Structure 1
Amino acid sequence: MTVAAPEHRTEPPRAQHVRRRELAAFLRSRRERVTPEQVGLPRGPRRRTPGLRREEVAQLSAVGVTWYTWIEQARATHVSAQVLDAVARALLMDPTERAHLFALAGTTDPRIDPECPVVSTSARKVVERLAPYPASLQNARYDVLAANRPFAQLFGDLTELPVADRNCLWLLATSERWKRDFLDRDEMLRDLIAKYRVAMAEHVAEPVWKEHRDRLLAASEEFRALWERHEVAPLSPHVKRYRHPVVGLVRLEHRTMWLAPQSPAHRVVAYIPADEETEERLERLAELADG
């Protein structure tokens, strides 16, 4: 079931003030930890400030001294992504510090890199140990990062596909096999696009998300039509009917487990039998593979 998109609400003034103060404190702490020598500046005999001076940060980042001072005094009402990027570079921030900086400023980082495709050993073990139930590791875009053998037996071995095609939304929209064998495919596609829109709201300015959406828009007229409806829906368990060519009809309820804090954007999706007949057929599929 889909629902109307929620009305956008501006952050209350008090919350904005708290955010500006936290941003200012964070910048001061980073500035005090960077030595002049680390950024190629002379220390000089009369330096009393720990780390860098505000004027030096402004110089290194090509930001006006007054404007940078206002940021550190929590007086700046809006700090652009360009300024944040320059300051992060000047203060030698690592990826975690940079992400925290942009989060405090309430601004999307335009330089976010695509998610690393490397999957941790522990995450793979979780997925594999769910056999004989099909399971996969997915990110917020529904890319399948890893899958166990029952998943491959039931839905197809995604490692045989190009990396860009190993995506549940892409397969549901374009794969003839998925169109044929998922008996509730039309409803599933509409529901998944509505969930995808909710997820994308948090990443709307990130290039990798835009490229992913645009690829779907270009490839599927059906996706384009459903995307234009602007429907949104929450993540929720529901039963999927799938017709396997060997063991027949299976009814599966998918369950989602988020992996955090190590991989906050990754989730394990397990497909649990919705009835005893499906349980028996999944066991039969496992026996066929072992035989």
Structure 2
Amino acid sequence: MDRRALADFLRGRRERIAPADVGLPRGPRRRTPGLRREEVAQLAYISTEYYTRLEQARGPHPSREVLAQLARALRLTDAERTHLHHLAGAPPGPPPGPSREVRQSILDLLDRLPLTGAIVVSATFEVLAWNGLACALMEDFSALPRRDRNLVRRVFLGPHPGGRRLYGVSDAEAFARASTQRLRAAAARYPGDPELTGLIGELRAGSEEFALLWAEQEVGADTTLRKTFDHPLVGPVTVDCDVLDLTDRDQRVVLYTATPGSPSEEALRLLSVVGDPHPRVPG
């Protein structure tokens, strides 16, 4: 355990987090550039004295549980989390679960893309963020509870009788297979995540098709480059699908664009005017 390096790392990570990032008021008398020590301790469910000793390079060897709580409190990336464990002399086990926090720069990017529908999905296919055109093209994600923002759950289990056959997307069959394969790979990366385990159990019990695909034990997944949405207002909209992998958080940005000058581009232009009045991320 490198106590001095651990102390410096904790202090540096603490000072970069603004109170507003974790829902705390800044207050008129705050002199600390980031969070206070007691605030980190509270977020990590440890005592202020214990955390202070860690930052003063005189603390005891932290347990894996404490390190996991500190990683969450300080909003560490996977690489930073691994580094924290090595500094503490406790090489990390597998991540507890897929990250649901989207970088601010990615959120800003979604709003700057012209005539492009964009969503951010987690390793378990939960839609974490979106822009207005994505809502107008696909559905209003902000009107859905978190549970119903999972694309795999919706494609196999609903929201309508018959599930994905009423989803209105041309690549439903290919998506069903690819998402099952990616979900299997995610289950191997996050073996201790109860939410992911519960999702897989729910899908296997509720969808015979998913159960059959799951039994194939496949993990490779081809990416669909083009799909057509059967939109109720503007008719068929054919889009190219490009995926940007955010490897540090195990997330993907999915971009939907149409061929310039095509009827589908005109449809996207119309939908961009319709837009979506709701927030780009869940409240």
| TM range, smaller chain | 0.5 to 0.7
- Please point out which of 132, 136, 140 is paired with 1:153: 136
The answer to whether the 8 A contact 2:178-2:221 is kept is no
Structure 2 partner of 1:71:
none
Q: Which runs of 5+ in 2 are unaligned?
A: 8-48, 52-56, 277-283
* Superimposed CA distance per residue, residues 86-143 of structure 1 (whole angstroms, 9 cap, x where no aligned partner): xx64x8983157644289736335xx367455x4543222112224221112211111
Structure 2 partner of 1:205:
192
The answer to whether the 8 A contact 2:120-2:128 is kept is yes
Structure 2 partner of 1:72:
none
Structural mapping, 1:1-291, within 5 Å: 27=1, 29-30=2-3, 51=58, 57=61, 85=64, 89=66, 94-95=70-71, 96=76, 99-100=82-83, 101=85, 105=91, 107-108=93-94, 112=96, 115-116=99-100, 119-175=102-158, 176=160, 178-180=164-166, 181-234=168-221, 236-259=223-246, 264-274=249-259, 276-288=262-274
The answer to whether the 8 A contact 1:239-1:274 is kept is no
Paired with 2:109 and 2:68, the residues of 1 have a C-alpha distance of: 36
Aligned amino acid, residue 132 of structure 1: L
1:201 alignment partner, SS class: helix
Distance 1:212 1:131, change over 3 A: farther
TM-score (norm 1): 0.61
Distance 1:129 1:204, change over 3 A: same
The answer to whether the 8 A contact 1:133-1:150 is kept is yes
Paired with 2:264 and 2:181, the residues of 1 have a C-alpha distance of: 28
Distance 1:179 1:128, change over 3 A: farther
Paired with 1:222 and 1:152, the residues of 2 have a C-alpha distance of: 28
How much does 1:250 deviate?
1.8
Paired with 2:210 and 2:132, the residues of 1 have a C-alpha distance of: 29
1:105 alignment partner, SS class: coil
* Superimposed CA distance per residue, residues 202-258 of structure 1 (whole angstroms, 9 cap, x where no aligned partner): 112322321232232233222222111111224635211221122211222211123
The structure having more radius of gyration, on CA atoms, is 1
* Superimposed CA distance per residue, residues 137-176 of structure 1 (whole angstroms, 9 cap, x where no aligned partner): 2211111111111111121102222211101211221233
Q: Which runs of 5+ in 1 are unaligned?
A: 1-26, 41-49, 62-83
1:246 alignment partner, SS class: coil
How much does 1:33 deviate?
6.1
Aligned residue pairs, count:
216
How much does 1:198 deviate?
2.3
CA RMSD of aligned residues (A): 3.6
How much does 1:191 deviate?
1.8
Distance 1:154 1:93, change over 3 A: closer
2:213 alignment partner, SS class: helix
Paired with 1:120 and 1:171, the residues of 2 have a C-alpha distance of: 25
2:189 alignment partner, SS class: coil
Paired with 1:247 and 1:189, the residues of 2 have a C-alpha distance of: 25
TM-score (norm 2): 0.63
The answer to whether the 8 A contact 1:130-1:270 is kept is no
Greater relative contact order structure (CA < 8 Å, 6+ sep): 2
